[in-house]
Amino acid sequence: METFGTRLYRAISERGPLCVGIDPHPGLLARWGLADDLDGLDRFTRTVVDALGDRVAVVKPQSAFFERFGSRGVAILESTIRQLREAGSLVLLDVKRGDIGSTVSAYASAYLDPSSPLYVDAVTASPYLGVGSLAPMFDLAAQHGGGVFVLALTSNPEGAAVQRARTADGRTVAQTVIDEISQLNRGADPLGSFGLVVGATIGDTGHDLSGVGGPLLAPGLGAQGAGAADLRTVFGSSLPAVLPSYSREVLSAGPDGTALRAAADRVLAECRAVLAAR
């Protein structure tokens, strides 16, 4: 069985370093001329899958925008996941789950067990009940070739107060998360299956990402104000592991499929220029 890290490495080699989010905001549905209802949600997601599913390495549905429609929204999420897999992109479900370990086991079954209707290639997880509480996710991911992206330094300004607070040994909370995930990836080649989320908006914070060994998902590009050039400042010598992530910047080009593809191609070219110059 191939690991998620290996599959991600190949997807990036073949399709380029880009993750596009599916975030059906009410404002985007309106902009696309769609109603803010189940039919609008379904049309929006199908359009994105048809335009990008066969060319983008990773697609990241944001679970919240499906959950807000209840069980029928989640049913659309399930079919979106299926369509994306058929189209050949890796599916990273942005759910940011975290809890005590026994409950994390249930989240792991929901997203990382191949028999689940919500089975995806990878999920996002919150480490703020302790990185160790996420062990059931790490274990199931390792068992089935899945991945987990753990929040380290998020793109929102409110995150810093918690994530950059100092622990007793002088490291920041975020650095302890970074170090624990680095341990999980030890020896992985070409890329570990356990990633970190590090916002492109955060500037140079002095955190050491050099030993992570896994992918570094970088949201915050486009609508939140960061540009591809900021990746150099935030990631420095760790640029080769960066997976830039855009949602509204690309989605706002829709609903025309050609325009969506052009927007994805444009941001990919901008990121490649920075990542290639490392």
What residues are labeled active site? 96
Q: How far is the CB of 184 from ligand LLZGTKA7 (least distance, A)?
A: 20
Residue whose CB is less far from ligand LLZGTKA7, 23 or 42:
23
Q: How far is the CB of 215 from ligand LLZGTKA7 (least distance, A)?
A: 14
Residue whose CB is less far from ligand LLZGTKA7, 62 or 83:
62
Residue whose CB is less far from ligand LLZGTKA7, 151 or 184:
151
> Which residues partner with 246 through β-bridges?
20
Q: How far is the CB of 187 from ligand LLZGTKA7 (least distance, A)?
A: 28
Buried b / exposed e along 209-241 (16+ C-beta atoms within 10 A): beebbbbbbbbbbbbbebebebbeebbeebbeb
Residue whose CB is less far from ligand LLZGTKA7, 141 or 250:
250
CA distance 142 to 120: 13
Question: Is residue 177 within 8 Å of residue 131, measured between CB atoms?
Answer: yes
Residue whose CB is less far from ligand LLZGTKA7, 125 or 142:
125
What end-to-end distance do the CA atoms of the chain give, in Å? 32
Residue type at position 219: P
Residue whose CB is less far from ligand LLZGTKA7, 142 or 174:
174
The angle subtended at Cα 65 by Cα 62 and Cα 67, nearest 5°, is 105
Question: Is residue 158 within 8 Å of residue 164, measured between CB atoms?
Answer: no
Q: How far is the CB of 115 from ligand LLZGTKA7 (least distance, A)?
A: 27
Per CB under 6 A, residues contacting ligand LLZGTKA7 are 21, 23, 62, 94, 154-155, 197, 199, 219-220, 222-224, 246-249
Query: How far lies 65's CA from each of 28, 107, 188, 253, in Å?
Result: 11, 18, 34, 19
